[in-house]
Every structure is written in C-alpha cells, then in structure tokens.
A and B are shown apart, each in its own frame.
Chain A
Amino acid sequence: MFGTAIQPGEKRLKTVFGDLGISTALLLEVILFSVFSPYFFTAENILNVTLQTSITAIIAAGMTFVILTAGIDLSVGAMVAFSGVVVTSILKLGIPFSFSFPLCLLAGILMGICSGSLAGLFVTRFNITPFIVTLAMMTILRGGAYIYTGGRPIWGLPEEFSFLGSGRAFGIPVPTIIMLCIYLCAFVVLRHTKFGRYVYAVGGNKEAARLAGININRVLWSVYLICGVLSAISGVLLASRMNSGQPNAGLMYEMDVIAAVVVGGTSLFGGRGSIVGTFLGAMLIGVLRNGLNLLNVGSYVQMVVLGVVILLAVLLDQIRGR
C-alpha cells in the first residue's frame, strides 16, 4: 500500500532531487568559498583542486564497483604505497628511462592485478568477508612496502618521471586528465555493459543474481581486480608527484575514498549508487579541503569539519531514501 501511494513521477523527481542534493551541496560550497576567498574561484585553483583530488578520486572509482557489490576494500592505501615503492625502485635500476618507464607502468598495473585478484579469490572461493580479507591485504602490503625499502624513501628518480604526476598537457594537469578518462570509462562500463548491470544485480541480491544465471564469483572477483589496478595506478601517480617512493604513502586513503563513495550516495549494502555520485562526492571533499586551506583553517579543525560534512551528506541521503 505504501508502494502504490508514491506516484512514479514523484519518485523520479525524488531521485533527480537526490542527485541534485549532492550537486547543490557542491555548488553551495563553491559559492561560499568564492565569497570568502578571492583566489578560490580562479581557473588555476579549480585545476589545482582536481589535481589534489585526482589520486583519491581514481581509487574511489574502483571502490564504487566494490561497494556496489556490498563489499569493501581497505587495502587501497597500502596498495598505493606498495606500487609506489616498487615502481620507483624499477626506475632506479639504471636502465634508460624509455625502457624503464613502460616497465614500471606494467609492473604497477601487474601488482594491482595480483593483489586485487588475490583479495577477490579469498572473497569468492573461500567466502571470507571482504572486510577481513582486505584488512589483511592492507597490513601485508603496507608491511611489504616497508620491508622492500627498509623503511626508507626511494629518492633520486629520473626527472622525466615527474611529468606523470606534476606535468600538464594543454594546460591541464596530467593526473586530472587521467582521472577524467578513468571516470568516463567507469561510467560507460557501469551504465552500458552487461558487466556493469551484473555488478548492480549481484550487489542487490546475490542469490537471486546467481539463480538468474549470473556468474557471481566472476563479477565479485572482477570488482576487486578493478579496485586493485586503479589503486596501483594512483600509487604510480603519487610517486611521480612526490618524485619519490614513500613506504608510508597513502596512509588512511581508504577512509577518504570510502567517504567519497558514500557521500556520493552509494549504499554500503550494495546495489544502489552511481559513478557520477562518487565523482561529485570526491570533488565535494576536495573542494572542502582546498577552501578551508585557503581560509587558513588549521588541519585539526579541517578534520572535524570533514567529519561533520560526511555525516550531513549521509543524513541527506537517508532522508531522501525514505
């Protein structure tokens, strides 16, 4: 009876309004910061925000796939560090950059594949909760990064390498361009392919999806793979930006990333959410950080504000879901 009481038009309006919810929040933020800081709304600063956000945003795209299946990946931050140190160590082997660069990219992606598929294997074949599997992966990868470097950062990389993280093409930061490409792909995959549909179906109801003929293990395995690869790519970008391989890079990234996805309206219970939402969520957090920095708000206060914003955003989503 409750179901029929809600008119479909009203419902659709609600969804649109919901999506508007996060975009209005973002817009409001932009207007607010523009008023208080003259520098905020300049092309340079906007590009700067996208650059600063790009690394977590790329991971958040991968995390969206995982969370849509009602899973979670806590190992993303550690993966950033691990791929960063391995990649930089390859660059230091002394082979010419034109050889070592593709080699290091390949190695980065390969590591993402290995770690992601290992997590996926444990989740699917052995039926262990994603939280536990990726928690274990997180400490293994982080520990691995420290062991690999002896706890010391890797410095002295070829200069050309910094182009990836700090360079610009057509005036736009390279990480921003990479991020946009990844989001475009993720959008198309989730919206327009069988696999994307299956991700939603498996997240919505695993058993029903299996009985509808979907190979749920393959879908679940794939989402961890995707998340692993995107984390590894982020690791390479971060290493390039810092021009070094830091074993403690990406600490607590998993929290930022999950926050972006959840603020973007994706349900932790799976089956609901969108990649556009995640993008807006990541930007909302990025703009907040940037704006507060410009207003000289201390980092301790920033943490509190960020927490409050996350709560408000999720509350908004809850009210809309009713």
Chain B
Amino acid sequence: MTALPLLQMKGIYKHYPGVVALADVNFELYAGEVHCLLGENGAGKSTLMKILSGAIKKDSGSLYIEGKEIEFNSPADAQKYGISMIYQEFKLVPELSVAENILLGNEPTRGRLPLVDHKKMQLDAQEILAQLGEEIPTATRVSFLGMAQRQIVEIARALSRQVKILAMDEPSASLSQNELERLFAVIRKLKTEGVGIIYISHRLEEVFEIGDRLTVLRDGKFIHSCPVSETDRRNLIRWMVGRELEQEFPRIEPDREEEVLRIEGLSSGILRDVNLSVYRGEILGLAGLVGAGRTELARVIFGADPKDKGRIFLEGEEISARTPREAIDLGIGLLTEDRNKYGLIMQLNVRENISLSNLRQVTGRFFINQAEENSVAEKFKQALRIRTPSIDQKVENLSGGNRQKVILARWLFTKSKLLIFDEPTAGIDVGVKLEIYNLINQLAKEGIGIIVISSDLPELLGICHRLAVMWEGSITGILSSQEATQERVMTLATGMKSG
C-alpha cells in the first residue's frame, strides 16, 4: 500500500434546520487500518457516516477515494466504490437463511435464467464465512442466531460485495466479552486483506485494543486525530467531553446489613438454583456473558416471567409476584435493557412516561389531576436534570441519556425499595454516564437496594460493591469489590472454577 489514503473527507459541512451537524470536518482512512471515530452522541459521527454511505448529501466539502474526487448521490453509488456500513440495528431479514442474507440482492442465478441457484448460494456463503474464519450453518434462519453471529453475517454480507471500506457503528453494543474477541479476530483478518475499517464505539477500552488511529469529533467539529498509541484514556475523554472529568467511576461505600432482597434456590427457564442477597444501600453487580441468564433473573424477580422453583424475600417477607404490577406494588423497579423497546412509550411525552407506573398517585376518584402530575414531572425533571425543553416533549425527541433518566424518574416515583438496572449506560455518552453513576450512588445512599446488570465490565468493577457472576443460568461466584478483577470475573463468567 502506498501512502495515498483510501478515503479522504475534507472540509465537510452539513446543516440541518437550526443546527450545524458538521463544520469543516476532516477524516482520513488508510487501507488495512482500524480508524476509531469517537465523540459523544450528537457529535456528528453518524452524520459523517451517513454522508460516506451516500444516505445523505453534504452541503460542501470534498470526498476522495484513492485520490479521486467522488460525489455520491445514493447509497448504491457508495456501494459501487466498495463502501459498506454496519449499523447498530442490523439490517438482516430474520426469516431468511444465513446464506440468503449474505447474498441478498446479489443472488447467484442459473446461467441466464432468473432463477436462484440455491446450491451455489450456500457454497458462496460458506466460502465468505470461511474467509472470516467463522463457521455458521448457512441454511439456518437468522432469527435463530445470537447477536454475535448476526454481526458476523452482516460483515459477511459486506464482504460479498467486495468491500474496501467497512464502517461499523457500535458493533460491540450487544456483544459479550468473548463474542467481542471473535469480532476483533474477524476485524484483524479484514485488516490483513487491506480493508479500511471505521470503528465507532462508546467503549474506550476497545479503542485501545483494536484501533490503529483515532479521530475525535465534538459538536460537529473536528477536534483531534492521532495514532492510538500516542494517547491515553484521559486525553480521549477530555477531547470528547471538552473538559476534565473528575473521576470516571465515582463510588461510595454502603452501610449495609439490612437485607432488601433474598433469593433462595430459584429455578426457571435457564436459571438454575440461584441464591442471592442484596442489602439496603448496596450496589450489586451482575456480571456474565450475554445469555448467562442475568436479564432472565431480573425478569423473574420483577414478575415479568414465572418462576418454577425457589423463594424470593423482600425485606424479610416472602413474595411471589406474578405480574410486573404486583412487583411494582411491592416496591421493585426494573429499568429494562433496550429502553426504547421495553421501557419507554415513544408516543407519550416526558410527563406521561414518568407517571405511567404510578398514575393512581396522581388520580382522584375518577380523573388524573393534571396539576399534580405536572408538578411531579417537574420535580423529577429538576432532580435528575433531565434535559428537555418541556415535560410535554415527546420522549422520542430526547437523547439516550435523558431517556434513561425519564425511566429512572418513573421508578423513583413508584418509591422502589429495590431497583434493577439492566444495561443502564448502553449507548450513553461518557459525560452522561457519570451522571447516571452518580444517581445510582445517590439512590444507594438513600437506602435503596440496587442490582446493576452490565456487559461493560470496567463499569461494574467501577461502581459495584459486590459482583455476582453468572454462567449458564447459575451464579458461579460472588466477589467483593476488593476481590473482583477483570480476570477473575471472566474466569467465572466462562464457567471455569476460579483458582
């Protein structure tokens, strides 16, 4: 490879009504490198990628591929030049097979007849997967695959089109640690084949693990670009946030002893004989790989799924919630994973989303008391610093961090004694993450028992007082914050006995 960059974007501008999305942004990508694109939500990463993929048009600036200036008018144009995007939400068709997905729109035909050559399709798909060093049965329907495998299928699909530039938007968001390792192995393989990779992620440790160079954007402006080896985490955060963060993981020690939750011999679905306690004011982390049963455990405690065996005690009294309503009335709150899908009602506004689980509190004999509902929502808006122009704003117009705060407000309004956070900071900016951690600490200090489920291990190690590690539906170990290290947790999470 020569020194000529594979891709050059120079002086890119993009305006939306009322907002400058990109102002004079430069970006360069060389063949065979992983270039991390960093920035908070709204920094302009997605806009830049959309321009690259031809999904939207730039206002001004120029785009060069291998030194030639090129103008994209549609995603099809970009594809012609070997540019492929993998979005956070996969664009796979779940009811079609792996092979059909990989070769979608690109099916091999029988000679000149417009008939699909199914045999060749399977073979082609297998060959592409083999290139990636992956074995996925190509006849399986995609809906049967796990997240990591779907990601591989997405990559294979890009490869089937002679990809030169592959942009990945938060590929790690739904992957567990060892799935991530596999993804990295695939990325390294692509590098050796000369593919230029743009990697977008909120998890900074990944940047240091896989990245060669990085570019930071903030508020639509180009901030910094340099080789990964020449910088550190602290600098990155400063560039992204625009100020120094005091500490990334604030923590406080609990004054525990009083049990809020005790689980004895719980079995249900994949859960096997789970025993666990959470104390007042304690933040208990649930670590494990995706599919280890953490979310399932949360759902059983919350009454969303039935339990087969075992007993659950809340503040010493045995409970048996059969519906979320019953759990809520007992004082349990669940901040679900994927807040957009399982948490918020997008069509309702901030106020309505906050009061939703405890409407009776603001309802008289027949009618909702508007004034009271307003004051409740205003109170939480201020207490949690929810950034919204008004409580009557639809939540679909809020950013990820503020949406999470709205959900949190809902559960604070129900006066929960036990709060379960499932992936509380997934897809949330570094700056807002800190706010969420502070809120979790604040709640713990007020005596609420807290369970945090997260695939972000540094986060769990950073904020939790104890860590329970799950593997295949059972708890393989409980570590105090002093005992817990990345290695020990990973050993337990993969089912090996810790030494």
Which residues of A are interface residues toward B (Cβ below 8 A)? 1-8, 11, 188, 192-194, 197, 200-201, 203-205, 207-215, 271-272
Contacts and interface: CB of A to CB of B under 8 A. Distances in A.
Contacts of A213: 323-325, 327-329, 356-357, 414
Contacts of B346: 204-205, 271
A256 B61 CA distance: 53
A213 B410 CA distance: 11
A214 B324 CA distance: 8
B352 interface: yes
A215 B324 CA distance: 9
Contact of A211 (B329, B334, B390): B334
A193 B345 contact: no
Given A2-B16, A194-B360, A204 B348 contact: yes
10 contacts: A11-B393, A192-B370, A197-B368, A204-B346, A205-B345, A208-B341, A209-B356, A211-B302, A212-B410, A271-B345
A208 B16 contact: no
B341 A207 contact: yes
Given A188-B367, A200-B347, A211-B302, 9 more contacts: A3-B399, A4-B399, A194-B359, A204-B345, A204-B348, A205-B347, A213-B327, A213-B414, A214-B356
B73 interface: no
Contacts of A8: 389-390, 393, 397
Given A5-B18, A5-B19, A201-B348, A211 B396 contact: no
A2 B16 CA distance: 8
A212 B339 CA distance: 12
A214 B347 contact: no
B325 A214 contact: yes
B42 interface: yes
Interface string B351-372: 0100011011001001110100
Interface string B375-411: 0000000000000011001101111000000000010
Interface in B152-191: none
B261 interface: no
Contact of A3 (B334, B363, B367, B396): B396
A211 B336 contact: yes
A93 to B, nearest CB: 38
B101 to A, nearest CB: 26
A8 B410 CA distance: 22
Contacts, number: 111
A179 to B, nearest CB: 22
Interface of B: 16-19, 21, 42, 44, 46-47, 302, 304, 323-325, 327-329, 334, 336, 341-348, 352, 356-357, 359-360, 363, 366-368, 370, 389-390, 393-394, 396-399, 410, 414
A207 B328 contact: no
Contacts of B394: 11
Contact of A194 (B21, B334, B348, B363): B363
A209 B345 contact: yes
Nearest to A272: B347
B343 A208 contact: yes
Could you say which of A188, A192, A197, A211 has the most chain B C-beta atoms within 10 Å of its C-beta? A211
B325 A197 contact: no
Could you say which of A3, A7, A188, A272 has the most chain B C-beta atoms within 10 Å of its C-beta? A3
Contacts of A6: 17-18, 397
A208 B359 contact: no
Contact of B42 (A4, A193, A207): A4
A200 B21 CA distance: 34
A1 B16 CA distance: 9
Contacts of B398: 3
A89 to B, nearest CB: 37
A213 to B, nearest CB: 4
B352 A197 contact: yes
CB-based closest 10 A-B pairs: A271-B347, A204-B345, A204-B347, A5-B16, A8-B389, A213-B325, A213-B328, A192-B367, A5-B19, A3-B397
B335 to A, nearest CB: 10
Given A212-B357, A214-B356, A193 B396 contact: no
Contacts of A209: 345, 356
B399 A211 contact: no
A214 B327 CA distance: 12
Contacts of A204: 345-348
Nearest to A196: B368
A197 B389 contact: no
A22 to B, nearest CB: 19
Contacts of B397: 3-4, 6, 8, 11
A1 B47 contact: yes
